[in-house]
Amino acid sequence: MTKAFIRFARGLLRMPLYVHVWLILLSGVNVAGAILWPGAQEGLVTLAVFTLNILLMGTITSRAGFSRLLGLGHFLWIPLAAYLVVRLQVLPAGSYAYWIRILLIMNGISLIIDATDVVRWSLGDRREIVEDL
């Protein structure tokens, strides 16, 4: 499994610059809640899901390589989004609720990209996204 995570990390590092920027922003937003509002339930749940996503993507890499199937690694964001939408109804307005809205938008964009990748993989595009890993 360690080799899979190394391969996953190598694949990420070989992606184009715009992907690096996107991943830094996406990662930052996903961990921000736990850092900026320590102990806040939604931030901790988001951090836990983010961590599980990374573990899942390492597992996918070990089975299918650094392929478009990695889009499945974010499927836990779907129930997370439902949970956060419900929580927004009872949270007071302010920077914390604003963070949740930004998180929902960014994770939603990522899920659209991921769904496209998984469909492409299921239609036969099973090559590795980055070569020579």
Query: What pTM did the predictor assign?
Result: 0.91
Segments making up each domain of the chain, as ranges: 2-122
**Length of the chain in residues, anyone?**
133
The 8-class DSSP code of residue 92 comes to P
pLDDT, tens only, 36-83: 999 999 999 999 999 999 999 999 999 999 999 999 999 999 999 999
